[in-house]
Amino acid sequence: MEFVFDIHKIFLEPITKLDGNLLPIRRPLISSSEAQKQIMTVIDEIGKASAKAQRLPAPITSASRMQTNPHHLYILKDCTPKTAGRGVVIGFLKVGYKKLFVLDHTGSHIEAEPLCILDFYIHESLQRNGFGKELFTLMLRTEQVEPQHLAIDRPSEKFLSFLRKHYNLRSTIPQVNNFVVFDGFFRDRKAPGRKLQPKRAEGEIKPYSLSERDFLKQEEGLPWPFSQAQSSLNRAGSLGSSPTRAGPRFIPGEDDFVKSLRSCRPHSLHRAANGEQEDPTQRRRTSGR
Ligand code: ACO
């Protein structure tokens, strides 16, 4: 994804980590206010591209949502000599902590606050080149989390395949909310979940936790996967065979500049990336909206 301004002046590292203040730890080479404006444009555009790729009716990642939610955004840019011009954004990964009620293997509700994968996108022309893995690996190291301890907000088929391939995450623990958790979710956690007391009235338990996608309100309030079933009934065949999301409908235009990146291999993880050293003061947790 290209922009009219110079990506290399706002993102000095191959992968830039952002939080709600929308300014990287390594200060941009232009004024903070100008950088923030450009970064907002980047976030809005990549958010739109991700929504189109996932066939969502509206973006779930935008600058304004970043400013109002304690999420972390990892943005991957190209850093090959070929793209020494204004630079290109390859993709992004958005994560955040959420309070969830997660079912364990016995069907008990466990109150947990896992790191959730909320949005993940690599430009269509560059998928299956290892860029997603590069972003994901850096996020895991920065957030100091094991892949099996993550909760995934309604993963797409491509993402499920990604998790199977790179992290051997296959079997899931059935949930009644929009989040997918895998076997191993409850094993060796730093902060084990809290089993809800039996005396607690069932009415106090939220039946499902709100996912990023719930604010879109396109499925009339039913949690995934029930919403998918309902939606398939309502719009016969429109979502294809995916139990999660349909494949991309929109393919952003591919120019020569982007094509030149096809051959480009993932950046080395040894390169320093801002945010790699986690600043504990920046780790804020959501209260589960
Ligand atoms: N079809 C099936 N599997 C795919 C595809 C695809 N088109 N693209 C990537 N994968 C999976 C496969 O397991 C693939 O391995 P393979 O090529 O040996 O089959 C593996 O991912 C490749 O790994 P990377 O190259 O590191 O991944 P990539 O850079 O393609 O990024 C991502 C993965 C982010 C899922 C990307 O494919 C993408 O942007 N997809 C469209 C948007 C999307 O579905 N995002 C996830 C939404 S769910 C959420 O965000 C919580």
What pLDDT was estimated at residue 251?
Answer: 33
Count other Cβ atoms within 10 Å, centred on residue 279: 11
- From ligand 1's centre to the CA of 137, what distance in Å? 14
Please enumerate in sequence order all residues whose Cβ is within 8 A of that of 72, keeping only pairs 6 or more positions apart, or say none.
17, 18, 19, 94, 95, 96, 139, 143, 275, 282
pLDDT at 114: 96
What is the number of the ligand 1 atom nearest to the C-alpha of 245? 44
Return the pLDDT at 242: 28
Q: What is the DSSP letter of 3?
A: -
216 C-alpha to ligand 1 centroid (Å): 23
Alpha carbon distance 12, 97 (integer Å): 26
Residue by residue, pLDDT tens for the chain (289 residues) are 999 999 999 999 999 999 999 999 999 999 999 999 999 999 999 999 999 999 999 999 999 999 999 999 999 999 776 655 889 999 999 999 999 999 999 999 999 999 999 999 999 999 999 999 999 999 999 999 999 999 999 999 999 999 999 999 999 999 998 899 999 999 988 766 666 655 444 444 444 456 777 766 544 444 544 444 444 333 232 222 222 333 333 333 334 433 434 443 444 333 333 333 333 333 333 333 2
143 lines ligand 1 (CB under 6 A): no
- 280/36 Cα distance (integer angstroms): 23
